[in-house]
Structure 1
């Protein structure tokens, strides 16, 4: 890559890159996962975020350019990207890149699909690949290389939506076939649009569901403005008053540029097997293993979940909120409750969407007996993997223990294509009949060979 301001380096990458076969094969699976998650969110009975977003976008109206999954509305491309991004992130079931610990596809894919359906002529697969890659690398640059701490999160910032806005802008700018300079401008514009505060993870509120929607919306707007001539500062990322100063305070520039276009962080982005915050997955794995070994949840007197120290703030604190979450959605961010779900029998791929449809009194009672503490082994593995250990004391006085060094779906244990397809089928089947689900899967697969985006949104 040519040396220069980081935005220009990323612009040149996005404008010129022809992804290798492995990346091109992977991207349709990302789209499949996003579409399935969005349709499951559309079908959610207790949803509030996506219907609220759609009502606002309908009221604002505009040129009917792009479609909304499930609802069948046609809206201006930024508005459709917004609603689809809300849907994609609503269930906390979207893919995760490690070590940045962000969810790139839920912002990038909705933005790219909206722009492509609205007529942007570029290579959809290459555009999404470039957008996800940029998102991941911006996230990695904000990780402390010594401690592994995510500097975005340390400041309460949601890296998913902040970096995802820029990644979405890169994807849409590539779809518009802008040159490297204009893509750099789109990055510069998008950097003023990305936002997201994580307090909802800890103490409630449904606004986090909207973060990826706003990122997708901002990405479409930023790229469109760049195409029309608006410009961004060339040093928007590394400058004294730039992106990293604002969001992380310090950063690793080599994480952005090292082997860019040669070594793909996109391929390290893992699919979730469970519809909950990814930090809870190691505990779920441990609980499922103990239950499979014969543990009766009614015999549990107390339990201790050991996880990486940095994740305690998300899944263990405040302790009272996590022991008794205020809704099924907030239960997804509770270490005690998700362990209780797994111990009492989940559905789907082990723990399923129906397990969070409403709070269960039996699970709340069990969650109140589960403490979450820092575990040194899990802390050492973080953020390259989500590890954990669960120790359970039973009525007979025995202590049972299970440890995982990397959660299911994570590094070393990735979901197979068949498992991701099974996840999609279950998710999409909550909103569509079986025949329509199969047709949608074929339409997504056809995108890899230039199939039309419109086939994803049959009238």
Structure 2
């Protein structure tokens, strides 16, 4: 039996009462986090251009988009939601899977619950938890380096599971939805390689396709069944080597949403161990930037491949977020890294470029092709000192989590970064609603707070 059948049985067979407290808490935590980064993405790179485009992609008042007052066809709104959540590289990530689960799951779920109405907070929690089990489970099962953009491809499966849960699909309907989604799956690592804004759109495309797939399946479309392990299935065509049996056997015991990591910095996850190492060096040692003769960032092979790109003049924000030379140099100079550091006017800073050219990215052997850590940064100073900081646990990971205060600070900061989205005091209403999400009878009340004119 193809593994997709096991995932399907898990999605249709679980209820809110089956979910452990840690999974429910994580679902609410990363729901709020994704809302915050999605709002900050309203005016992120290329977001307004996308908003102009989608106005011509059909006329309907189905669903709203995060932070905007206009309405669009449900699938179009899902695409825009997902893009906004990921377009600033600030959304949460499952490191072992190399998947950003909430961009696709929440992008689709918000659009569908707005269209349908009457969907409870408990049902949304179910959708988030079970959707993450699917997308992150598929990612964990892969044992090959990334070729296709897994946050988009595996993310589409997670979004399909979430929408199916919201709509109350039975087993056969969900199998058809998964098969239809696979027929539309898309997105390669070339966009990552070149630092293109198409990267976030690839998550959007698969999120849109999840809604389309569920709508088609609900109307009786029959689709292929062996979509994960078939001769031309996902693992064989998109991934390569895989071992899905341990993932399947853990369904109902291991809840992937509880393994998800916060991002403390608005950059590619692969940069964040090195950023944390730089902050630790500045905390522990006294030195001047002018003393730095060389910087060595010791990283995993995957990290080197994802963010070892050269710092370039005139680079776009999305390129810079995935450039370890830029992120390390900027953090060395100022001791922190935030959204303002990726504005166009900040990216040409001559001092950052001069220091960044001295940052050498060195790949260290690692048996796990999906490992993003550990990381270490080594400074050689003109006074002869050699300073090193090692980061074993990525900041924001389950083994080194953000505190609740840090989590809320990130949300409030993202909210306030877009003052025209909604009144500042409404942020506290969103926090309270998410904290008590299991008591909410119609989650459109959340969108009422997020999509004010």
Question: Do the structures match in fold with TM over 0.5?
Answer: yes
Deviations 1:416-450 (A, max 9, x none): 22221111110011124420222222233343323
Q: Secondary structure at the match of 2:331?
A: helix
Deviations 1:256-310 (A, max 9, x none): 4122012112211111111101111111011111122223222212111110122
Pairs aligned (count)? 436
1:89 aligns with 2:110: no
Displacement after TM superposition at 1:411 (Å): 4.2
Q: Secondary structure at the match of 1:95?
A: coil
Q: Which of 293, 296, 306 is matched with 1:301 structurally?
A: 293
What TM-score, normalized to structure 1? 0.90
Counterparts of 1:359-438 in structure 2, within 5 Å, are 359=347, 360-376=349-365, 379=366, 383=370, 386-432=373-419, 433-438=423-428
1:449 aligns with 2:439: yes
Deviates more, 1:103-112 or 1:68-77: 68-77
Q: Secondary structure at the match of 1:102?
A: coil
Unpaired stretches in structure 2, ≥5 consecutive residues: none
Q: Distance in 1 between matches of 2:58 and 2:52?
A: 10
Deviations 1:62-101 (A, max 9, x none): 2211111122211111111111110000011111113112
Q: Secondary structure at the match of 1:373?
A: strand
Equivalent position of 2:252 in the other structure: 261
CA, structure 1 residues 211+15, in 2 after alignment: closer, same or farther (shift >3 Å)? same
Equivalent position of 1:351 in the other structure: 337
Equivalent position of 1:108 in the other structure: 105
Displacement after TM superposition at 1:43 (Å): 3.5
Note if contact 1:375-1:388 (Cα within 8 Å) is conserved in structure 2.
no
Note if contact 2:117-2:442 (Cα within 8 Å) is conserved in structure 1.
no
Q: Distance in 2 between matches of 1:380 and 1:392?
A: 26
1:210 aligns with 2:210: no
Deviations 1:302-355 (A, max 9, x none): 1111101222121114xxx33657123211111111111111125xxx421111
Q: Which of 439, 444, 456 is matched with 2:429 structurally?
A: 439
Q: Secondary structure at the match of 2:5?
A: helix
Equivalent position of 1:12 in the other structure: 9
Displacement after TM superposition at 1:383 (Å): 4.1
Equivalent position of 1:147 in the other structure: none
CA, structure 1 residues 296+200, in 2 after alignment: closer, same or farther (shift >3 Å)? farther
CA, structure 1 residues 169+410, in 2 after alignment: closer, same or farther (shift >3 Å)? same
Displacement after TM superposition at 1:6 (Å): 2.0
Note if contact 1:391-1:401 (Cα within 8 Å) is conserved in structure 2.
yes
Displacement after TM superposition at 1:38 (Å): 1.0
Note if contact 1:303-1:390 (Cα within 8 Å) is conserved in structure 2.
yes
Note if contact 1:170-1:223 (Cα within 8 Å) is conserved in structure 2.
no
Q: Tell me how large the CA RMSD over aligned residues is.
A: 1.9
Q: Secondary structure at the match of 2:311?
A: helix
Q: Distance in 2 between matches of 1:288 and 1:325?
A: 26
Equivalent position of 1:130 in the other structure: 130
Displacement after TM superposition at 1:111 (Å): 0.4
Q: Distance in 1 between matches of 2:132 and 2:118?
A: 19
What TM-score, normalized to structure 2? 0.91
Q: Secondary structure at the match of 2:173?
A: helix
